[in-house]
Amino acid sequence: MSEHLAPRGSESVAPGAEYAATASSAYRAALSVIESVEPRIAAATRAELSDQRASLKLIASENYASPAVLLTMGTWLSDKYAEGTIGHRFYAGCQNVDTVETVAAEHARELFGAEYAYAQPHSGIDANLVAFWAILAHRIEQPALAEYGVKGINDLSEEDWETLRQRFGNQRALGMSLDAGGHLTHGFRPNISGKMFHQRSYGTDPETQLLDYDAVRRAAQEFKPLILIAGYSAYPRRINFAKMREIADEVGATLMVDMAHFAGLVAGKVFTGDEDPVPHAHVVTTTTHKSLRGPRGGLVLATKEYAGSVDRGCPMVLGGPLSHVMAAKAVALAEARRPEFQTYAQNVADNAKSLAEGFLTRGARLVTGGTDNHIVLLDVSGFGLTGRQAESALLDAGIVTNRNSVPNDPNGAWYTSGIRFGTPALTTRGFGAAEFDRIAELVVDVLKQTTPTATAAGAPGKAKYSLADGVADATKAASAELLDAHPLYPGLEL
Ligand code: PLP
């Protein structure tokens, strides 16, 4: 085992402390080389580290990858074209990329207990595109080709291909609505998925704001989707995937789960049994850079039945894989297979509970009344603010979040009425329950001292606000105490 993959003590959750000195030299050398070619890029890279070190990062989709993961991305693996699949490439000389992709897929299969893993997607959106087309190919193209008596689509005449293409389009997909926490790629109009599919959404219960499985079942039975999509970007609760599979089976749909947000909680065995999507879904997609704490990228997991279609991601919707990023995925997945990643994942969930409790005890309102994953969704309408005003005021005070719709949001998707908080990043820095309670206190203080201001026309604006004097500085000072106690990349000096 190499130095950077040596096991760490389970008490340490911040990855990389044990090789910080070596990583410091590597980064210093790299930045001086970059500086000699384009100093502005070296400066922006240094500034980004200082900014990240100095802010309370509560964006639910972000994290801090280990220096091992980050360093893996900066190599000549980036220079190699390797379109195709392991052992079957359209380019010569891909033996090392074959090794990289094999190791990444092997770690992914072992970590998640999946029958098949595809490590090529460049991002979450790509992983979903691969999955959609793989499902369409598996469910429609294969039986249709059998009908025409040919082996592959290239064997079809122009006319038969045209007929088949008509049957590919306009399939039905059923996914969670955007304002209940679903993602744009789950069939919504601004995304290509909304153009590929007739889409219908399921929402949440108007009273509890929790997923209503009976309503999902009713929608599925009425709409008869080809694909039932489960997964979310802003739903603060766990999902019962066994129930979702039951519903999919009842209507003959393929169950696709997008676990981009909560993959780290699956990897860390916080979500098990019915809450683990892998044993229940036909196809699972994820990003690797959120709670999973890897490089920016995507991954598709599938049952053996769907493996062949998923493997056609390239050339179906992908070109050459990012071999350097696949290498970094392998390193991150190796890290996630260590026992201390389970401690990390449990801390992520425990910290979210502490943050939620901290808000509730201070009188704030949370969507669904709490959390049992890594997300807390605060309804800021009780403070008389829009999400946009709250997000900006918090940023002025050094607290980085993002605004988000709440179910049936009266302010729409741009201004919104919510702020989404997530615990993965600060948990990586070693923040615990007490620090998250203190964060809740700081956030509530800032929001209480923020007032919406009038527009030029005199009406209350949805974007303008004013923060009481001194609040931003006082909050930054209080945050600095928390941040100094839990440095980002401890021991890493540029
Ligand atoms: N799926 C879900 C559930 C997400 O939350 C996101 C990103 O926020 C994506 C897919 C898209 O990921 P990417 O930004 O890597 O394309």
Both 177 and 292 in one domain: the answer is yes
E strand or H helix that includes residue 285: strand 283-287
Which pLDDT score is estimated for 256?
A: 98
The phi-psi region of residue 110 (left if phi > 0; otherwise alpha if psi is between -120 and 50; otherwise beta) is alpha
Query: Residue 291's pLDDT is what?
Result: 98
> Is 265 among the annotated ligand-binding positions?
no
Sign of the CA dihedral with 134 first, then 139, 144, and 146 last: positive
What is the spatial order of strands in the sheet that 402-404 belongs to?
365-366, 375-379, 418-422, 402-404
Ligand 1 midpoint to CA 150 (Å): 37
For ligand 1, pick from 125, 184, 318 the residue to mutate: most ligand atoms within 8 Å of CB.
125
DSSP string across 100-146: HHHHHHHHHHHHHT-SEEE---SSHHHHHHHHHHHHHIIIIIHHHHH
CA distances from 100 to 69, 77, 322, 421 (A): 14, 9, 11, 35
Query: Do the beta carbons of residue 419 and residue 380 sit within 8 Å?
Result: yes
Residue with tokens 């203190």: 438
Give CB contacts under 8 A, 24+ apart, made by 386-389: 386/411, 386/415, 386/416, 386/417, 386/452, 386/462, 386/463, 387/411, 387/415, 387/416, 387/417, 387/418, 387/419, 388/414, 388/415, 388/416, 388/462, 388/463, 389/450, 389/452, 389/462, 389/463, 389/464, 389/465
Q: Is residue 256 within 8 Å of 283, Cβ to Cβ? A: yes
Instruction: Write down the pLDDT at residue 154.
Output: 86
What confidence score (pLDDT) does residue 15 get?
76
Ligand 1 atom, smallest distance to 125 CA = 16
Which ranges of the chain have pLDDT less than 70? 1-14, 169-170, 455-460
Spatial CA neighbour of 77 closest among 320, 393, 382: 320
Q: Are residues 351 and 324 in the same domain?
A: no
C-alpha 25 – ligand 1 centre gap (Å):
33
The residue behind tokens 């997945």 is 333
**41 in a structural domain:** no
Distance separating alpha carbons of residues 185 and 295, to the nearest angstrom: 20
Q: In the chain, how many domains are there?
A: 2
- Reference 407, options 239, 293, 237; nearest CA is 237
User: Ligand 1: which of 63, 183, 186 to mutate, most ligand atoms within 8 Å of CB?
Assistant: 183
Residue 44 is assigned to a structural domain of this protein = no
Judged by DSSP in three states, 293 sits in coil
| Among candidate residues 31, 76, 134, 34, the one with its CA nearest the CA of residue 322 | 76
Taking only the tens place, the pLDDT of each residue in 150-172 is: 988 889 998 988 888 777 766 89
- Contacts of residue 401, defined as CB under 8 A and 6 or more positions apart, other chains included, come to 58, 59, 391, 394, 395, 419, 420, 421
Reduced to 3 states (helix: H, G, I; strand: E, B; else coil), residue 86 is coil
What's the CA-to-centroid distance between 287 and ligand 1, angstroms? 6
Closest protein CA for atom 10 of ligand 1:
124
Atom from ligand 1 closest to the CA of residue 126: 16
Query: Can you read off the two tokens belonging to residue 14?
Result: 């911040």
Residue 174 labelled as part of a binding site: no
Which atom of ligand 1 is found nearest the CA of 289? Answer: 15
175 plus 290 within the same structural domain? yes
Nearest atom in ligand 1 to the alpha carbon of residue 296 is 15
Structural domain includes residue 124: yes
Query: Residue of the nearest CA to atom 14 in ligand 1?
Result: 124
- For 49, 167, 267, 432, 465, the CA distances from 292, given in Å and listed in that order, are 20, 37, 7, 18, 36
**Nearest C-alpha to atom 7 of ligand 1 is from which residue?**
124
| Ligand-binding site membership of 184 (annotated) | yes
Boundaries of domain holding 155: 78-336
How close is the Cα of 286 to the center of ligand 1, in Å?
8
Instruction: Report whether 185 contacts 191 (CB < 8 A).
Output: yes
CB 145 within 8 A of CB 151: yes
Which pLDDT score is estimated for 459?
64
- Output the residue whose Cα is nearest ligand 1's atom 11: 124
Spatial distance between the Cα atoms of 483 and 491, rounded to a whole number of angstroms: 14
Tell which of 306, 336, 366 closes a domain: 336
Length of the chain, in residues: 494
Q: Nearest residue CA, atom 2 of ligand 1?
A: 260
For residue 400, the number of C-alpha atoms closer than 13 Å in the C-beta half-sphere is 16
Task: Report the separation in Å between the CA atom of 8 and the middle of ligand 1, taken as the mean of its atom positions.
Answer: 30
Q: Are residues 309 and 418 in the same domain?
A: no
Binding residue per annotation — 111? Answer: no
Judge if 376 and 327 occupy the same domain: no
| Ligand 1 atom 12, closest CA | 124
Q: What pLDDT was estimated at residue 151?
A: 85
CATH number of the domain where residue 156 is located: 3.40.640.10
d(CA 470, CA 453): 18
Residues 182 and 256 both lie in one domain: yes
CA distance 265 to 15: 17
User: 326 and 367: one domain?
Assistant: no
229 and 115 in a common domain: yes
Judged by DSSP in three states, 493 sits in coil
CATH code of 449's domain? 3.90.1150.10
In ligand 1, the atom with minimum distance to the C-alpha of 259 is 3
Q: Do residues 364 and 375 touch, judged by C-beta distance below 8 A?
A: no
Q: Are residues 250 and 358 in the same domain?
A: no
Residues involved in catalysis: 81, 83, 258, 287, 290, 296
- Of 291, 319, 336, the residue at which a domain comes to its end is 336
Q: How far is the CA of 232 from the centre of ligand 1 (A)?
A: 9
Give distance in angstroms: CA of 261 to centre of ligand 1: 8
- The preferred substitution site among 287, 291, 300, 318 for testing ligand 1, maximizing ligand atoms within 8 Å of CB, is 287
Q: Is residue 446 part of a domain?
A: yes
Tokens representing 408 are: 């049936």
Residues with Cβ within 8 Å of residue 292, at least 6 apart in sequence: 63, 263, 264, 267, 286, 332, 336
Domain assignment of residue 191, yes or no: yes
CA 488 to centroid of chain Cα atoms: 21
Note whether residue 428 is domain-resident.
yes
CA distances from 215 to 106, 121, 176, 212, 221 (A): 38, 33, 11, 5, 10
SS3 label, residue 68: helix
Evaluate whether residue 493 is within a structural domain.
no
- On whether both 237 and 301 belong to a single domain, the answer is yes
DSSP, residue by residue, 367-407: GGGS-SSSEEEEEGGGGT--HHHHHHHHHHTTEE-EEE--T
Position in ligand 1 atom list of the atom nearest CA 128: 10
- Same domain for 251 and 385: no
Asked if the structure places residue 10 within a domain, the reply is no
Among 120, 192, 233, 292, residue to substitute to test ligand 1 (most atoms within 8 Å of Cβ): 233
DSSP state of 488: S
Residue ending a domain, choose from 321, 336, 351: 336
Distance 32 CA to ligand 1 centre (A): 33
Question: Do 332 and 455 fall within a single domain?
Answer: no
Residues with CB under 6 A from ligand 1: 61, 123-125, 128, 183, 185, 231, 233, 258, 260-261, 287
Question: SS3 of 259, please?
Answer: coil
